[in-house]
Amino acid sequence: MILSILYWLWFAVVVGIDDLNIYFYIMITFFFFNSARTRKLLVVFSPFFIYMILYSSLKVLHKFNVFTIHIEDLYELEVKLFGIWYNGKKVPVSEYFVENLNPFLDFYAGASYITWVPFPILFALILFFSNKPKIAFNFWVSFLIANLLGFIGYITYPAAPPWYYFEYGSQLIVDLKGNAAGLARFDDIIGMPIYKNMYSEGTNTFGAMPSMHAAFPLLLTYFSLKFGKKWITIVAIISMVGIWFGAVYTAHHYIIDIIFGILCGILAIIITESLINRKFAVRWYESAIDFIRK
């Protein structure tokens, strides 16, 4: 009851209520009250729900931001580190792609990019119903930790994505809504505004560095290896490569964003594997796993 009150106070007073907040509250309430099995599923997915609550709260960052928002300097750093020569000047790879579009790559990038949402959820469900709750819980804990590291990056180094610089230059527009950018071409191909709708509800335009889209498939690949199902690992690797490529091709991320996202994923794995073996965490951690197994 107290948690429910705090949840609604936070979103009503500070963040602002939207449809996503309502859907997640209904989902969490259903899992909690429906049955013992759904309560166990709720425990497994609890780090994911915490992530979603925190992610929904990112929309207030611009109200309290005290750090410089990086636009042109990040572009110049990308050019310096990973720029390629094109039409007589050095440009980011993402800018080269904007000038050299390909319908097949438009579809490939969009189809790959969208897997970051369902694939981790499906993987965790497979683990849960395969009686591998510990791997599932560890997966979501590392997912949460990676995002916490990412949120620290968003707060301390707010950064514009490539599409922002290509469209607005160094001009700062704090309240600008999200933009599907190159992913809108995928929408046009399939005739459905999936990405346009998704990014119109975006929570943080200046959250390009690090790229969590780079971290998520890395975590999926790592824990699929621990699960031991080769076909899942193959699917995870295909998704990972496609997402990394799509992030740059659609001008949502620079290569440097991808690298820091990968580092967040690696660090999250290291922290998770360390945390579950620490004495102060073992009792709570194992009690959660035991509850799921019962």
DSSP one-letter string for the chain: -HHHHHHHHIIIIII---HHHHHHHHHHHHHHHH-HHHHHHHHHHHHHHHHHHHHHGGGGHHHH--SPPBSHHHHHHHHHHH-EEETTEEE-HHHHHHHS--HHHHHHHHHHHGGGTHHHHHHHHHHHHTT-HHHHHHHHHHHHHHHHHHHHHHHHS-B--HHHHHHHTT---TTPPP--GGGHHHHHHHT--HHHHHHHT-S-TTB-SS-HHHHHHHHHHHHHHHHT-HHHHHHHHHHHHHHHHHHHHTTS--HHHHHHHHHHHHHHHHHHHHHTTSHHHHHHHHHHHHHHH-
CA-to-CA separations, 204 to 11, 65, 158, in angstroms, rounded = 16, 12, 9
The whole-angstrom separation of Cα 96 and Cα 86 is 7
Res 12: pLDDT:
67
Digit-coded pLDDT (tens) for 229-276: 899 999 999 999 999 999 999 999 999 999 999 999 999 999 988 876
Residue 208 pLDDT > 80: yes
Local confidence band at 202 (pLDDT 50, 70, 90 cut-offs) = low
Longest dimension (CA), the chain: 65
Give the start-to-end residue ranges of the domains of the chain: 63-293
User: How many residues in total does the chain contain?
Assistant: 294
Contact 175, 62 (CB under 8 A): yes
Residue of higher predicted confidence among 293 and 221: 221
Q: Which two tokens stand for residue 220?
A: 């999926």
Q: Model confidence at 277, in pLDDT bands (50, 70, 90)?
A: low
Higher-confidence residue of 68 and 20: namely 68
Average pLDDT over residues 276-289: 62
**According to the model, what pLDDT value does residue 45 have?**
83
**Structure confidence at residue 44 (pLDDT):** 82
What number is the average pLDDT over the span 59-76? 78
pLDDT tens digits, one per residue of 130-170: 888 888 888 999 999 999 999 889 888 989 999 999 988 88
pTM: 0.87
pLDDT at 54: 79
**112 has pLDDT over 90:** yes
Q: Is the pLDDT of residue 10 over 90?
A: no
Question: Is the Cβ–Cβ distance between 285 and 236 less than 8 Å?
Answer: no
- CB burial string 53-87: b at 16+ within 10 A, e below: bebbbbbebeeeeeeebbbeebbebbbeebbeeee
